[in-house]
Every structure is written in structure tokens, then in C-alpha cells.
A and B are shown apart, each in its own frame.
Chain A
């Protein structure tokens, strides 16, 4: 089995996610970029799991998927809260605390 193409795909996805997190200004788009990073991890885990014929990687991936769903749920709730209070989900406007 070829492992490399999966690892390259996952590294590419991970970097896209990091770029999105750093460059995007909208809260929802940042959350989507985080999802990309987590899915890169899943591809890695499943590819290694198949390559090594060990099931642990797939179990790990299932846990990652479940917890990612919980995390994004919380994240959307927080972004929604900010939108309700300020009518804006732009992360650049959140700058009351500094120093």
C-alpha cells in the first residue's frame, strides 16, 4: 500500500487549515479552518492504521471526530453569543482586553 499520497494530502490540508485560522477574519470561517486541521489528523490516523494493519488508529480517529463535533458546537455557540451582543462576528473587532 502506498502511504505517501495520504500523508501529503493530510499535510496539505493541515497547512490550509493553519492558513485559514491565521488569515480569516470571520469567526465561522476560522471554525471551518480548524475542522480542516482536525480532518487532516483523521486522514493521517486512518492511513497509518491501514498501513500498519493496527486498529488503534481508527479508534483514535473516531474519538477525534466525536470530540471535534462537541468542540465546534461550543465554538458556534460562543460566536453566536458575540454576534448577538455586537451584531458582528468579525474577530478583529474583539479587542477590549489588552496589555
Chain B
């Protein structure tokens, strides 16, 4: 029996794979001074892959009869959830491409391979959005991770970059091994690798301690990928040592890949076994918010501060999941909250990193003190950075406010003492977070600039990426229905 392959449903992956091959060959054929052209091919490929995503999605918003396309016995499904996330991954990648182009062109880098590895990782993310069984989730997760190990160590002769790579690599590999051990136990208990089959098994499972162990090990593996406390040690070091465009990619796209895997495995597979995942996620969420925020308070390097801030934001994203098991309504709310938070987090965090890259073009430093007087030397950049910082802090009417709002709504609707306790922890943490975000804004506006400080010259591509992010943050803040609809559509396809 031959498997039926739906080429339209696979078109985004096929276009991206073709682009990857073309980029690799173009790098061989172009002479050294024309190598930067490969970035152009990569951008066109990413936008090209977005077209089939849009044509596939055209039915989603017009009628309610969108039929999910399922392949390989249900192991690979293209539904609304997959399409929303594929769109998100491709758009974030396009922005990452824009903000890396000049950085890579001017640095002492190996250009062709950079785009090749970046796009390979994105291919893993596209597959992850559609993967619905343990094997394809594992393969997709490794396809996301392995190229990023190399990207983190991109500056071969810089020992800090080497250190970033080895730390990221070791933690990544060990977490995969732990996750695989958990998956092998789940497979052994349920006798299938399909998440639907595992769901059915867990609905009538005997009361076994081994199920809890298996769930715990699997979730611990994912916790490393999304850098949740206490599995977060690699993140700040890797973020600081890696080239900044790579850090932006890791903190948004790669992290979102981990969250997508977590969402799929919980809602499609482990959902009936609430004891196996709710307490673990509750602890991870509470610890990530608290430790992330408290450590971020005393950082004096902007990239490290954003690293800890992204750990804390990861806690906020996880929080609704920890109370999702009460009923299918709570499940849908939590799912929606996570998707909306991910989309908004992507826009504001990428924007913040884009400004960091722009400022570092002049100062060549990541110290927060180098932001002193940015409001005088380059007011436009200062206003934009303030918008991103306040959005991350959750100040209305910027997008971050809406993300926090849906998170709190999901927590409070779920009710119960555990959910309320988590909501209180999240509220306290939102206040703490405001201090360090506002601390950077204070330096920008109230401190005097250093002697002879000038405005950085920002190339057009970087300007465009900052513009896209700031537009998204402001527009979604004022008109949140835009992303709310996406979250709603995605939740509908998984939780019914």
C-alpha cells in the first residue's frame, strides 16, 4: 500500500526544502564578493513558502467547514492550528533574516552556510506544527535543535561563542535523551507512538506510577528546550555568547518550537492524565516567572537581561497550561491563551532584539549603561525601544497587555485554589518585571549621553524589521481581535 501524499498540504515544506538546496548550491557557485546574494534567495524562499500556507488557510476564515488534511495514518496533520503556527514561524524567520543580513555581511562569517542552517531549523518548525506522533515530534525537535547548536558557535575563533555552543549543545542533547526515555516508556505502556492512540489509552489507563514517571521525564525534556526554571542554566550564557541575530532566533522561533511541541503532546496525547502534567507545569510556570524576573533585576548586560526576561515570559506562557485539565472549556481557553501569547511575544521580543542589534552597531557593547541618553542621540530608536519594553512589561495599549490579559483570564476562569495562587504569583511578577523594563527606559530618557555619542547608522533591512515588529505590537495592542481570532481558530481545531 502506498501512502497518499497531499502535495498541496506539504507545499510549504517542499518550497522551503527547495530553497535550502538552492542556497547551498548558490553558496558554492557565487564568488566571494557576491555571497551576500544568498540571503536574498533565502528571503524569497521564506516568503514563497508563505504563499501555500495562505492558500491552504483561505478556507479557514470564510466558513466553518475547513477540512483538516491528514496524512500517513494521522501522523502528519495540516489543520488550522498547524497553519497559524506555520505562518507565525515563516514571518518570524523573515524578520530574523532581515535583521541578520547586514550583521552577517559585515562580520567575519560564512554566509551561505548561515542561511542554510537557519532555514533547516525553520523546516523543523514547520514539521513540528503538523507532527502528531512521537516519532515525528522527536525528529522535528532535533531538526530544530541541531542547526542551532552550530549557529550558536558561529564565530569559530571567539571563545565566548564556543562556550555558548558547547553549553547549549550539552544541555540540548541530555534533554533529548531524557525526553526520549520518557517517550519510550509512554510507547511501552500504550503500545503506540500516535498521540491519538496514547490519548485513548490514557482515558482508560490503570492507575500506574510508571505513567507519571513517563510523563514527568517527557515534560522535563521539553522544559530544557523552552528554558523553563530549573532547566534554564544554558539560556543566558548561550544568548550572550552567540551572535545577536542568532540569539533573537533562539529566543523567539526556537523557543516557540518547544512550546508547539508541548501544546501538541499535552492536548493531543497526555490530556486525560492530568496528574501527570498539571503539577509539573504549575511548578515550572511559577518557578520560571519568579526566578527569571528576580535574576533579570540585577543584570547589567542588555542581552542577559532579555534572556532572563524571556525565561520569565516563558513562565507566563506556561501558566494557563498548568490549569488546563479541569474541563474541555478550560482546555480551550488555555490553548488559546498560549497561542496568542506566543504570537505577541514573538513580535515584541524580536523587536527588542532588533533595536539591541541597531544600538550595538555604534556602541559595540551590550552594557545597559550604553543606552544612556539614547533619547537625545536617536529619538526615534528610543521611542521604539520604549514601546517594546513597555509591551514586554504588559502596559496597555500595547500588544503585551492583551497577552497578559488572556493569560489571567484563562487562569481565573479555571478557578480553584491552585489557579488563583498561580494568578497571584503572575501578578506579583508582572510588577517586578516592570522595574527592570522601566529601568532601561529610564536610562534611555533621563541619563545624559556619553561624550561624543552619535546616532547609529541603521541599514534599510534592519529598519524594515524594526518597523514590522513595532507595527504589529501597536496594531495588536489597539485592535487585539486580530490575534484573538487566530488563537480562537487554532484552539478550535485541537480542542473541538
Known: A37-B181, A96-B159. A52 touches B191 (CB 8 A): yes
Q: Is the CB of A48 within 8 A of B184?
A: yes
Nearest A residue to B136 via CB reads A63
Known: A48-B184, A78-B166. A17 touches B134 (CB 8 A): no
Residues of chain A lying within 8 A (CB to CB) of residue B495: none
Q: Is the CB of A17 within 8 A of B177?
A: yes
Q: Does B156 contact A (CB under 8 A)?
A: yes
Q: Does A79 contact B (CB under 8 A)?
A: yes
Residues of chain A lying within 8 A (CB to CB) of residue B184: 41, 44-45, 48, 57, 60
Number of contacting residues on A, CB 8 A?
42
Residues of chain A lying within 8 A (CB to CB) of residue B185: 44
Residues of chain B lying within 8 A (CB to CB) of residue A77: 150
A38 to B192, CA, bound (A): 20
A94 to B160, CA, bound (A): 9
Known: A27-B166, A97-B240. A45 touches B187 (CB 8 A): yes
Q: Is the CB of A56 within 8 A of B177?
A: no
Q: Does A5 contact B (CB under 8 A)?
A: no
Among B167-175, B258-266, B374-382, the one that faces the other chain is B167-175
Residues of chain B lying within 8 A (CB to CB) of residue A79: 166
Among A21, A59, A60, residue most surrounded by chain B Cβ atoms (within 10 Å):
A60
Residues of chain A lying within 8 A (CB to CB) of residue B142: 67, 70-71
Number of contacting residues on B, CB 8 A?
43
A4 to B229, CA, bound (A): 34
Residues of chain B lying within 8 A (CB to CB) of residue A94: 162-163, 166-167
Q: Does B461 contact A (CB under 8 A)?
A: no
Q: Is the CB of A82 within 8 A of B162?
A: yes
User: Shortest distance in angstroms between A71's beta carbon and chain B's nearest beta carbon?
Assistant: 5
Q: From residue 164 to 216 of chain B, which have CB atoms closer than 8 A to chain A?
A: 164-167, 169-170, 173-174, 176-178, 180-181, 183-185, 187-188, 191-193
Q: Is the CB of A82 within 8 A of B160?
A: no
Residues of chain A lying within 8 A (CB to CB) of residue B156: 81
Contact with B along A56-86 (1 / 0, CB 8 A): 1101100110010011001101110110011
Q: Does B241 contact A (CB under 8 A)?
A: yes
**Interface of B (DSSP majority class):** helix
Q: Is the CB of B192 within 8 A of A56?
A: yes
Q: Is the CB of A63 within 8 A of B304?
A: no
Contact with B along A30-50 (1 / 0, CB 8 A): 100010011011001101100
Q: Is the CB of A64 within 8 A of B180?
A: yes
Q: Which of B135, B166, B173, B188 contacts A91 (CB 8 A)?
A: B166
Q: Is the CB of B163 within 8 A of A97?
A: yes
Q: Is the CB of B162 within 8 A of A60?
A: no
A30 to B174, CA, bound (A): 10
Residues of chain B lying within 8 A (CB to CB) of residue A40: 181
A93 to B345, CA, bound (A): 36
Q: Is the CB of B174 within 8 A of A37?
A: yes
Known: A37-B181, A78-B165, A85-B162. A44 touches B173 (CB 8 A): no
Residues of chain B lying within 8 A (CB to CB) of residue A57: 184, 187-188, 193
Q: Does B331 contact A (CB under 8 A)?
A: no
Known: A21-B174, A41-B177, A59-B135. A96 touches B160 (CB 8 A): yes
Q: Which of A21, A71, A82 contacts B146 (CB 8 A)?
A: A71
Residues of chain B lying within 8 A (CB to CB) of residue A37: 174, 177-178, 181
Contact with A along B111-150 (1 / 0, CB 8 A): 0000000000000000000000011001100100010011
User: Shortest distance in angstroms between A42's beta carbon and chain B's nearest beta carbon?
Assistant: 8
Q: Does B80 contact A (CB under 8 A)?
A: no
Q: Does B157 contact A (CB under 8 A)?
A: yes
User: Shortest distance in angstroms between A13's beta carbon and chain B's nearest beta carbon?
Assistant: 10
Residues of chain A lying within 8 A (CB to CB) of residue B187: 45, 48, 56-57, 60
Residues of chain A lying within 8 A (CB to CB) of residue B45: none
User: Shortest distance in angstroms between B179's beta carbon and chain A's nearest beta carbon?
Assistant: 9
Q: Which of A34, A48, A52, A96 contacts B177 (CB 8 A)?
A: A34
Q: Is the CB of B162 within 8 A of A78?
A: yes
A17 to B193, CA, bound (A): 25
Q: Is the CB of B193 within 8 A of A60?
A: yes
Residues of chain B lying within 8 A (CB to CB) of residue A21: 170, 174
Q: Is the CB of A54 within 8 A of B180?
A: no
Residues of chain A lying within 8 A (CB to CB) of residue B304: 99
A44 to B146, CA, bound (A): 24
Nearest A residue to B181 via CB reads A41
Q: Is the CB of B162 within 8 A of A44?
A: no
A-B pairs, 8 with minimum CB distance: A48-B188, A37-B177, A44-B184, A97-B237, A41-B180, A52-B191, A56-B193, A67-B142
Known interface pairs A38-B177, A98-B237; 6 further A-B residue pairs with C-beta atoms within 8 A, sorted by A's residue number:
A14-B177, A38-B180, A75-B149, A75-B173, A79-B166, A81-B165
30 residue pairs of the A-B complex, CB under 8 angstroms, read: A17-B177, A38-B177, A40-B181, A41-B177, A41-B183, A41-B184, A44-B184, A45-B187, A48-B188, A54-B191, A54-B192, A56-B193, A57-B187, A60-B187, A64-B138, A71-B146, A74-B169, A75-B170, A77-B150, A78-B162, A79-B166, A81-B153, A81-B165, A82-B166, A85-B157, A86-B159, A91-B166, A94-B167, A96-B163, A97-B164
